[in-house]
């Protein structure tokens, strides 16, 4: 007796449908894509039971005649291609002709359709992949298709559906993507008879953002745009700034040639662009549209066409990462420096630092929280007379207190070459210092708060990174002995250059001891033994990676820790001139959005938020 037999066509179709129809959202996706391909300007979706009970999609597209209405449910029936060669230049959504055939295999389908100039439309009933009825009917131009009881004959698949609430969230996320992808279309979404989403056509993504998310998010978005010629790639869209985020990735939308896709590499590139701006476990909101030559991307990499493959993925990822980072930094620059504002600080005065590592701590600036506005008067006019030289004895330096006045803000700021700022910095309307921690700046669109410690950390870190060959060091009058584990000594000796290139001179002094001969000027008040042990711990963390990556990772951590220990602390009282200097240097520092550890350096409290809190606006 033979063991191999051929499955009936309708049973094979049910199995094949699983590649296309995973859940109700998969059906909605196929139906809405068909509606858009049909030239619709308005698409309405109705959901019941999370889609398991009913999914209805109504559009005002060009509709179908009787013959097409019957044929569209057949397997591999399509109007998009005629041969496999057409796949390279396909610009529509569906093309394989499996969507409606697969849906008809696992659900009950009813369709009403009518062409614009036709006298009558057609009502089609489909069950078990077969058209059971087709009759003339009166209906508006377009297509109205209802899908009921998904997986009603496949209990093994139906039991894997999640709760109606979960399935509904997938449908909602899908429709939000369509709204972003087509801001010129009108989309509505109903659930259990209630209108949930109503998005008429708009002129910009920012307006669409206000419709889909909320107005508060829309006011914290940043436009992004970039272009590359070879291969030709265009990236445009919007991202949220560092003040708005989500607890999951559901608000990250990526589109490739107007197709919503899920691509982990694109997500990673976007998050790298944010760096450590956002708190751990938080994610931004974004809508990124990538336009690329169809020959450079494979859109047929997934049965449901949810994923794509790029011919040169690294190029796309690097362009996206750089675009996001530049957009974020540009926004911070706009907050710090109002454009085209005349400078109130004389050029001669600006050429001299207001404070150096050799200057004693400033006299206290008496205040209780807020201070008076002082930006109306020029500052820094007295700076030249209070700057001692670097020729003082090392032990004098070691005796200084650790305040902002004892730390150098280098006066040759390191500005991103792609985004150079005016060296003649405009005056800032600095209100003063709050809680001896935050610098308050009045702006036309709100109140800008700068974390003095985080900002100074970033300034110093970039100084260390750019000048690691010329780190100011202090020879120790009494070299310090540091005891380490004999197990650590071989690793330390193999990487003494990591310390040396950052201004720390070490020598072996026995089997388990090191002698510190010199340290960077910025570590003069640090507990050097604990600091060196921290570096040793980082060395163990990265000892298994290649030499180049080892040096990069350990050095980044070392410099970040040096910057942290040398920076002005929360609670340090700053003079008006020092606050002005810090703001100016931050404005000319790259990666200024966060400190090296990922905390934000600034936060803008918008006028809208303030007035809303005081109920001046509704």
Give per-residue pLDDT as tens, 469-493: 677 788 888 898 988 877 788 888 8
pLDDT of 436 above 60:
yes
What was the pLDDT predicted at 305?
60
User: What is the CATH number that goes with domain 9-199?
Assistant: 3.30.565.10
Helix axes 452-466, 547-566, angle to 10 degrees: 140
**What DSSP state is assigned to residue 284?**
-
Task: Report in angstroms the alpha-carbon separations of 394 from 354, 391, 474, 475, 478.
Answer: 21, 9, 6, 7, 11
Class level of CATH domain 347-466+571-613: alpha beta
Closest CA to 79 of 97, 91, 103, 104: 97
More confident residue, 182 or 71: 182
What is the average pLDDT across 25-43?
93
Give per-residue pLDDT as tens, 275-301: 777 877 788 999 999 999 988 888 766
Quickly state the pLDDT bin for 271 (edges 50, 70, 90): very high
Give per-residue pLDDT as tens, 378-416: 333 333 322 233 333 333 333 333 344 444 444 343 444
Report the range of poorest mean pLDDT among 39-43, 314-318, 344-348, 523-527: 344-348
Quickly state the pLDDT bin for 533 (edges 50, 70, 90): confident
Helices and strands in the chain, H and E counts = 19, 22
Give per-residue pLDDT as tens, 71-129: 888 876 655 544 555 455 555 555 434 678 888 888 999 999 999 999 999 999 998 87
What is the average pLDDT across 439-466?
88
Quickly state the pLDDT bin for 183 (edges 50, 70, 90): very high
Beta pairing, strands 286-292 & 297-298: unpaired
Contact 568, 562 (CB under 8 A): no
Quickly state the pLDDT bin for 345 (edges 50, 70, 90): very low
pLDDT of 333 above 80:
no
What was the pLDDT predicted at 73?
86
What was the pLDDT predicted at 8?
62
User: What is the CATH number that goes with domain 205-336?
Assistant: 3.30.230.10
How much of the chain, in percent, has pLDDT values that exceed 90? 34
- Domain limits, the chain: 9-199, 205-336, 347-466+571-613, 472-566
Tell me the C-alpha distance between 559 and 3, whole Å: 70
The residue assigned the tokens 């590649």 is: 19
The superfamily in CATH containing domain 472-566 is MutL, C-terminal domain, regulatory subdomain (3.30.1370.100)
Same fold, 347-466+571-613 and 472-566: no
Quickly state the pLDDT bin for 182 (edges 50, 70, 90): very high
pTM, full prediction: 0.63
Closest CA to 502 of 528, 540, 537: 528
Tell me the C-alpha distance between 442 and 432, whole Å: 10
Report the range of poorest mean pLDDT among 108-117, 426-435, 564-573: 426-435
Give per-residue pLDDT as tens, 51-70: 999 999 999 999 999 999 98
Query: What rounded mean pLDDT belongs to the chain?
Result: 78
pLDDT of 181 above 90:
yes
- Residue 290 forms beta bridges with which residues? 235, 256
What was the pLDDT predicted at 93?
56
Quickly state the pLDDT bin for 444 (edges 50, 70, 90): confident
């Amino acid at each position: 007796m033979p063991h191999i037999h051929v499955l009936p066509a309708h049973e094979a179709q049910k199995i094949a449908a699983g590649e296309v129809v995973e859940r109700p959202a998969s059906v909605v996706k196929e139906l809405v894509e068909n509606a858009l391909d049909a030239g619709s300007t308005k698409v309405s979706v109705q959901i019941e039971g999370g889609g398991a009970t009913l999914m209805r999609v109504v559009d005002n597209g060009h509709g179908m005649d009787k013959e097409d209405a019957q044929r569209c449910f057949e397997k591999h029936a399509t109007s998009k291609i005629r041969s496999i060669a057409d796949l390279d230049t396909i610009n529509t959504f569906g093309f394989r002709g499996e969507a409606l055939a697969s849906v008809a295999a696992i659900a009950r389908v009813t369709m009403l359709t009518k062409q614009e100039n036709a006298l009558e439309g057609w009502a089609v009933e489909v069950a078990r992949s077969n058209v059971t009825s087709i009759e003339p009917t009166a209906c508006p131009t377009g297509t109205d298709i209802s899908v009921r009881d998904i997986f009603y004959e496949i209990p093994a698949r139906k039991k894997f559906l999640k709760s109606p609430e979960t399935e509904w969230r997938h449908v909602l996320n899908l429709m939000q993507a369509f709204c972003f992808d087509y801001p010129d279309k009108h989309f509505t979404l109903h659930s259990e008879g209630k209108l949930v989403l109503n998005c008429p056509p708009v002129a910009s993504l920012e307006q669409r953002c206000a419709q889909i998310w909320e107005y508060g998010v829309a006011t914290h978005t940043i436009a992004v745009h970039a272009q590359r010629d070879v291969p030709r790639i265009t990236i445009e869209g919007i991202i949220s700034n560092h003040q708005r985020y989500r607890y999951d990735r559901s608000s990250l939308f990526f589109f490739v040639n107007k197709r919503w896709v899920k691509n982990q590499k694109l997500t990673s590139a976007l998050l790298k662009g944010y760096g450590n701006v956002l708190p751990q476990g938080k994610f931004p909101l974004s809508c990124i549209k990538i336009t690329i030559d169809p020959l450079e991307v494979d859109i047929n990499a997934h049965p449901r066409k949810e994923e794509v493959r790029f011919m040169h993925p690294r190029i796309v990822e690097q362009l996206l990462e750089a675009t996001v980072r530049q957009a974020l930094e540009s926004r911070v620059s706009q907050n710090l420096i109002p454009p085209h504002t005349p400078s109130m600080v004389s050029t001669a005065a600006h050429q001299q630092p207001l404070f150096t590592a050799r200057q004693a701590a400033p006299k206290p600036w008496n205040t209780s929280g807020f201070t008076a506005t002082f930006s109306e008067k020029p500052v820094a006019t007295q700076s030249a007379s209070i700057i001692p030289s670097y020729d003082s004895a090392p032990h004098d330096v070691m005796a200084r207190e650790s305040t902002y006045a004892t730390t150098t803000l280098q006066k040759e700021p390191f500005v991103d070459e792609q985004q150079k700022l005016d060296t003649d910095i405009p005056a800032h309307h600095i209100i003063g210092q709050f809680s001896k921690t935050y610098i308050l700046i009045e702006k036309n669109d709100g109140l800008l708060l700068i974390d003095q410690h985080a900002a100074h950390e970033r300034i110093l870190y970039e100084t260390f990174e750019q000048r690691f060959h010329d780190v100011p060091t202090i020879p120790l009058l009494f070299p310090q002995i540091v005891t380490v584990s004999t197990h650590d000594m071989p690793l330390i000796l193999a990487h003494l250059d990591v310390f040396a290139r950052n201004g720390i001179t070490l020598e072996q002094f026995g089997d388990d001891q090191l002698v510190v001969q010199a340290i960077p000027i910025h570590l003069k008040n640090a507990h050097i033994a604990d600091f060196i042990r921290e570096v040793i711990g980082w060395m163990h963390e990265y000892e298994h990676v290649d030499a180049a990556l080892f040096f990069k990772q350990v050095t980044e951590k070392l410099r970040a820790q040096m910057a942290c220990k040398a920076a002005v602390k929360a609670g340090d009282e700053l003079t008006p001139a020092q606050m002005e200097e810090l703001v100016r240097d931050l404005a000319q520092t790259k990666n200024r959005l966060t400190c090296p550890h990922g905390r934000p350096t600034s936060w803008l409290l918008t006028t809208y938020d303030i007035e809303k809190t005081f109920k001046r606006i509704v």
